[in-house]
């Protein structure tokens, strides 16, 4: 059975995969998808838009470059607006193409980045462990994302919290793991990971984790949709039965 649902899921055959030229193309292709209910997604390619948010200088561009090109730049420039790179990855038997959007963290670029939040499947909230104020800003980033992405339910969205720059000397660290994990707990048990784009620590794992969180939430959403559809069908059957009884 093939079921049409509206969700953020986008499955495409790898042969048809092309870099969208604009955000319009992205949000457009995310509006309708085909879900193979009860079937495995093997041999399908799932395009996921991953957006990285956080204060300027926390290492968002470096995380993306480490993940996609396995490269680290000691003197990377501030991002203006947004940039994106694609990377294909395989988790268990499923193939995903991550379209990773690196955004400008500086306040003056707010109007250039926020139009790109819509259509995101995953949001990585990033701070640097040697920068207390970047940690304090996480609530602002989460709220900004929820507001501009126009998602209905922030508590059911796949956020991942990334604490970057764990390579720095211990005495330079300003945010403890405990402090950060407590914040994640207060925000509804958000997944948390510590990374270093510089030393390539946990960067792949952070993206694996993000996709894992996304697929678990997506599976839960599928289950709820199915239960909802079943109830509607049952109600429809009861209605027809009642009508028949009235006629005969």
Ligand X SMILES: Nc1nc2c(ncn2[C@@H]2O[C@H](COP(=O)(O)OP(=O)(O)OP(=O)(O)O)[C@@H](O)[C@H]2O)c(=O)[nH]1
Instruction: Annotate each residue in 24-63 with x if it binds ligand X (CB under 6 A) or - if it does not, as one string.
Output: ------------------------------x-xxxxxxx-
Instruction: Annotate each residue in 61-90 with x if it binds ligand X (CB under 6 A) or - if it does not, as one string.
Output: xx-----------xxx-xx-----------
**CA-CA-CA-CA torsion for 92, 93, 99, 103, nearest 10 degrees?**
-10
Secondary structure tally for the chain: helices H, strands E? 7, 9
Size of the site for ligand X (CB under 6 A): 23
Stretch that binds ligand X, among 28-36, 101-109, 135-143, 222-230 (CB under 6 A): 101-109
The DSSP symbol for 81 reads S
Based on the shown chain and the rule CB under 6 A, indicate whether residue 198 belongs to the binding site for ligand X. Answer: yes
Based on the shown chain and the rule CB under 6 A, indicate whether residue 106 belongs to the binding site for ligand X. Answer: yes
CB of 41 to ligand X, least distance (A): 32
Which of 85, 168, 213, 221 lies at the binding interface for ligand X (CB under 6 A)? 168
Burial 152-163 (b: 16+ CB within 10 A, else e): eebeebbbbbbb
Contact residues toward ligand X (CB under 6 A) are: 54, 56-62, 74-76, 78-79, 104-106, 164-165, 167-168, 196-198
């Amino acid at each position: 059975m093939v079921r049409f649902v509206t969700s953020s899921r986008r499955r495409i055959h790898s042969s048809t995969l092309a870099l969208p030229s604009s955000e319009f193309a992205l949000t457009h292709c995310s509006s309708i998808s085909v879900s193979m209910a009860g079937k495995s997604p093997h041999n399908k390619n799932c395009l996921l838009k991953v957006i990285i948010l956080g204060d300027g200088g926390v290492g968002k561009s470096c995380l993306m470059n480490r993940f996609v090109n396995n490269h680290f730049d000691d003197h990377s420039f501030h991002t203006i607006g947004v940039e994106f790179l694609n990377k294909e990855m395989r988790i268990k038997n499923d193939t995903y193409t991550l379209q990773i959007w690196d955004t400008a963290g500086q306040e003056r670029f707010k109007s250039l980045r926020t139009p790109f939040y819509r259509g995101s499947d995953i949001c990585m909230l990033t701070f640097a462990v040697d920068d207390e104020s970047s940690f304090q800003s996480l609530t602002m980033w989460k709220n900004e994302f929820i507001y501009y992405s126009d998602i209905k339910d922030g508590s059911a969205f796949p956020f991942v919290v990334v604490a970057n720059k764990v390579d720095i000397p211990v005495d330079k660290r300003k945010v403890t793991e405990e402090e950060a994990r407590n914040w994640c707990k207060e925000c509804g048990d958000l997944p948390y990971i510590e990374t270093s784009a510089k030393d390539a620590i946990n960067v792949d794992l952070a993206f694996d984790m993000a996709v894992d969180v996304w697929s678990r939430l997506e599976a839960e959403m599928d289950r709820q949709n199915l239960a909802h559809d079943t109830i509607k069908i049952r109600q429809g059957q009861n209605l027809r039965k009642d009508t028949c009884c009235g006629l005969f």
